[in-house]
Structure 1
Amino acid sequence: MNYDECHTVKTICGPHASCHNTAGGFFCLCHTGFAQLSGKTNFTGYGAGCQDVDECLQQPCGPHGVCINAEGTFLCSHMTPPMTSHLQTTLSPFVHCLSNLLKDQSIIDNCFTKRLQQPPADQFCSLINSTLAFARRMCEQKGEYRQKSASVTLKDVTSFGNKFVADGSGVESATVFLGAMENFATLAALASPTQELKAISSAHLDLDVRVIDVTNRRFLAHERLTLRAKNDTLDIYMKTVTEEQQTGASVVVFLSYTDLRSLQRGEFVTEGQPQSHLLTSSVVSVVIGNRRHRQLRDGVNITLSHTSQTQGSLSDWRIFCVYWNHSPSSSHWSPEGCEVIQSNGTHTTCGCQHLSSFALLIATSKVTPPANRLQHHGILPNPAPIQNVLQLRYRMV
């Protein structure tokens, strides 16, 4: 009878490796994104395990891309050409890391590189200082910008975000914060996909994260995920998260913020004209890791809870599902790409065709509301029931 070492000794291959039984023996294979230091493709050393491969050394993101290594995978972002100052040679990799996390090279040029020469007298730079400092922490792992960010956990990201919201901010600094938080949470999740966290509740911010091992999963055509943060819910197809990815890990992050007061004062623009409005939900963000674009082939459902002061009083008002549209010239709420699927006195479900930060607005003059739409351009039908209790969950799917 053959002795099955793989079944008997669960840890025989060590971390980041799979065991394969053979007649009279066994061998181990490293998971995608990991390898043996010796370069062997298979091995039999008990508990030897595999190390993370730094894919960024092969420049997979192209000449104008920024690569950040994460455990078992990597992130790419395409941005403006690097700065041309005398700091380029020594700081370029680190500066690119910061630019990737904050999504704007000009912020780094004005608020980081200039500070190395002389402190900038800039109110905007002061407002984003805490966000920039956290981005530096993500990039400064033992002085090497490509080191894994496992020391910065999702709990750290949540704590930072909660403090930022509690301290208050302006519209532009909140815009930078929203984009940065998407990258902070994504990178922290991918850097250590098997970390275990206790359930976390934050006064001003909650998030739900799913890391999907694409290598070892096969998905049904209409398999879906449901993520919950605060009293808000995201329904998304598994294939939307993984797309054509065949190996490695992918991640979807759902964040919900309360009391982002600066965005409550943000302008609402529809059909090219500013409109009077009232923000009547939390602000939520949806991000899929390792994605190079935000347009979705299949849409997502986002069910938002109405704020307490408007619950039960919206039947005579026009409700808009909107996203935060940021551009160098202006930032404002826009309904483009999102529609109301269904609504009642406490919740509204939005169908959206792209990823961003979303909220509900109501017009401040009464209009005749449209009939509720049950489906929209590939949006998930029959949204999942609303849950009123949230805890942060972090699990491998």
Structure 2
Amino acid sequence: MRKKYLSLLPGLLVLLLFPMGPTAQNSKACALQCPPNSSCVNGTTCRCTPGFISVSGEIFTDPLESCYDINECGPPSPVYCGISADCQNLEGGYYCTCSPGYEPVSGATIFRNESENTCRDVDECSSGQHQCHNSTVCVNTVGSYRCHCRQGWEPKPGLWYKQMNTICKEISFPTWTAPSGIKSQALSHFLNRIQDLGRNFSSASVLNTVGDLVQETGDLLETPGDLKTLPFSEQHFVVPNLLFGLENVLRGVSKALPKGSFTFNSSAGIELSLEVQAPSYRNITLIQKQTKMMLTWDAVRDSGDSGLAVVGLLSTPGMDRFLAEAPLVLDAEELTTLHETHRGLLQETSHILLSDVISAFITNKDTENLRSPVTFVFQHSVTPGPREKVHCVYWEHGQNGSGHWDTRGCWVTSTRDNSTTCQCSHLSIFAVLMAHYSVQEEDSALTVITYMGLSLSLLCLLLAALTFLLCKAIQNTSTSLHLQLSLCLFLAHLLFLTAIDRTESKVLCAIIAGALHYLYLASFTWMLLVGLHLFLSARNLTVVNYSGINRFMKKAMFPVGYGVPAVIVAISAASRPHLYGTST
């Protein structure tokens, strides 16, 4: 017992000398052990102060760990300051400020949460906080602003890098040069008049200039002078260049027009429709007397241009006299379909222009592959006949300076008696062209013989079918085969006589063509079965074998006679449905 009490003496002495010794010492040791941005929990544990965290979390025991700042504005759970506001991280905290282009309504420059957000858009234009050049106009946007060229001005080439630093110059009249190698007094006089308009051009007189351009073009087409005496190859070179040159000038001077819709007419019937508008997402439609054009805004805008955009539609009624005789070139797919449709009958083709020649242009000069197709609706007075096909065409420049009508990138979506709707994936000079396909005409005497022969054949086939059906004394496998053959031929001839020219309805025509195909195939199949039965009967003259032949023919003749033609017609209709019910 003495030894036990003696062992407690050192502890009692410590308590007497330092009554709070162990606790104070542990607290002092904890303070020395905990890293910056943390506080002591007990002798072995530290806690990071708010806004900081360690690798182990808020509380840690490893004396080698340290507390680092929490980025409240970053993932995984960023602070949301509200719309038009940004979170700013601090050492051990954060605060919210309005985004650039916005200002607080409350007057407080910083805040802590979404409920305190009072940010609103700053109108940099009215407050003078913009950097627009004096040649531009400041347009306020949500959270920012844009610098647009003033009306009648356009960006200087090479300086349209940033909309904030745009420098503009006054719109000038585009250069229009005469086609090389063409000698025409009428064309020279016309270009001299255009140069006079260019010398007197100013943005204030842009409406008068556009009207004079349309009138001068109308006068040239109304009185072409020596243009109409030029060879066709030169006409096909000059006239499209005339339209493309006019299109380029109109595209340039129209940039000086104010926002809105404009229509210009000449005494010769030329009609120009212009639409000038700011960026939007609505479709654009230009309507004229004989033509309508519809396109989307994304196909109009020029890359990098945020100002007004121009859409133009020019109809030139007098242009057909120069371009009507130009050759037509069909794309490969359409040409293949045409030859398959008129196989063996197509002799030659001729074509006429059904519509006015039009020119469509937009601010964006890169119109080879538009983002979305442009739709045209052409009105025409001529109704296409059964051997006439309507094409949507555009003018394609040739390598020799001349050109031709082409169909690539343009297709017909619908056609009626007096209108045709086209879609094109590019812009150019357009028209609706109707091609007439000359097919070998039948001799009238041959037609009379055909109808008389088929009528007599119908009578004989009807009598034969009634005989095979009603005379029971002669009914056997052979008469059954002949009865089916007679019925198929009778129906085929009857359908041929009554419906071979019913081409006004494509659906009805396709049904008639398919039925004729099936009935004549069935007739050939039954002829094959009749021949096969005759061959087997002649080879096997014994009664036993003859009975076997009859049983085989009775089981196989109907599936073969009517099933095989059905399979052939089904495969044909599935692979080439467009060849059933053609205009011929």
CA displacement at 1:35 relative to structure 2: 4.0
CA displacement at 1:180 relative to structure 2: 1.3
**Where do 1:55-204 residues align within 5 Å?**
55-56=155-156, 58=158, 71=171, 97-98=174-175, 101=176, 107=178, 110=180, 123-137=182-196, 139-141=198-200, 148=203, 150-151=205-206, 153-168=209-224, 169=227, 170-194=235-259, 200=265, 202-204=267-269
**Where do 1:237-276 residues align within 5 Å?**
237-242=296-301, 244-260=303-319, 261-271=321-331, 275-276=349-350
The separation in 1 between residues aligned to 2:169 and 2:190, in whole angstroms, is 21
Alignment correspondent of 1:363: 435
Alignment correspondent of 1:36: 134
Show CA shifts across 1:43-88 (max 9, x none): xxxxxx9686563365779xxxxxx9665xx9xxxxxxxxxxxxxx
**Where do 1:341-360 residues align within 5 Å?**
341-360=413-432
Structure 1 residues 370 and 212: alpha-carbon distance in aligned structure 2, compared to 1, 3 A threshold: farther
Secondary structure, counterpart of 1:294 in structure 2: coil
Alignment correspondent of 1:291: 365
Query: Are 1:335 and 2:435 matched, yes or no?
Result: no
The amino acid that maps onto 1:262 is F
Alignment correspondent of 2:375: 301
Show CA shifts across 1:319-361 (max 9, x none): 1111011134131111111111000000000111110011111
Structure 1 residues 50 and 149: alpha-carbon distance in aligned structure 2, compared to 1, 3 A threshold: closer
The separation in 2 between residues aligned to 1:339 and 1:313, in whole angstroms, is 17
Alignment correspondent of 1:114: none
TM-score when normalising by structure 2: 0.42
The amino acid that maps onto 1:226 is T
Which deviates the most, 238-247 or 361-370?
361-370
Alignment correspondent of 2:283: 224
Structure 1 residues 268 and 153: alpha-carbon distance in aligned structure 2, compared to 1, 3 A threshold: same
The amino acid that maps onto 2:369 is Q
Out of 355, 372, 396, the residue aligned to residue 325 of structure 1 is 396
Show CA shifts across 1:200-246 (max 9, x none): 464331111111223xx4x2xxx311112231110111221125445
Secondary structure, counterpart of 2:218 in structure 1: helix
> Residues 254 and 287 of structure 1 are in contact (CA less than 8 Å); yes or no, is this contact kept in structure 2?
yes
Structure 1 residues 364 and 28: alpha-carbon distance in aligned structure 2, compared to 1, 3 A threshold: farther
> Residues 236 and 323 of structure 2 are in contact (CA less than 8 Å); yes or no, is this contact kept in structure 1?
yes
Identity of aligned residues (%): 23
Greater percentage in strand = 1
Structure 1 residues 127 and 202: alpha-carbon distance in aligned structure 2, compared to 1, 3 A threshold: closer
Structure 1's unaligned 5+ residue stretches are 1-19, 43-48, 62-67, 75-93, 111-121, 373-397
TM-score when normalising by structure 1: 0.59
The separation in 1 between residues aligned to 2:351 and 2:325, in whole angstroms, is 9
Alignment correspondent of 2:519: none
Structure 1 residues 123 and 186: alpha-carbon distance in aligned structure 2, compared to 1, 3 A threshold: closer
What's the C-alpha RMSD, in Å, of the aligned pairs? 4.2
Aligned residue pairs: how many?
Answer: 283
The separation in 2 between residues aligned to 1:355 and 1:127, in whole angstroms, is 28
The amino acid that maps onto 2:221 is V
CA displacement at 1:188 relative to structure 2: 2.5
Structure 1 residues 53 and 136: alpha-carbon distance in aligned structure 2, compared to 1, 3 A threshold: same
The separation in 1 between residues aligned to 2:412 and 2:286, in whole angstroms, is 19
The amino acid that maps onto 2:271 is D
> Residues 214 and 266 of structure 2 are in contact (CA less than 8 Å); yes or no, is this contact kept in structure 1?
no
Secondary structure, counterpart of 2:258 in structure 1: coil
Greater RCO, CA 8 A, separation 6+: 1
Show CA shifts across 1:23-59 (max 9, x none): 9x944699x9x8426x9979xxxxxx96865633657
> Residues 389 and 435 of structure 2 are in contact (CA less than 8 Å); yes or no, is this contact kept in structure 1?
yes
CA displacement at 1:153 relative to structure 2: 2.7
The separation in 1 between residues aligned to 2:268 and 2:137, in whole angstroms, is 49
Secondary structure, counterpart of 1:296 in structure 2: coil
Greater percentage in helix = 2
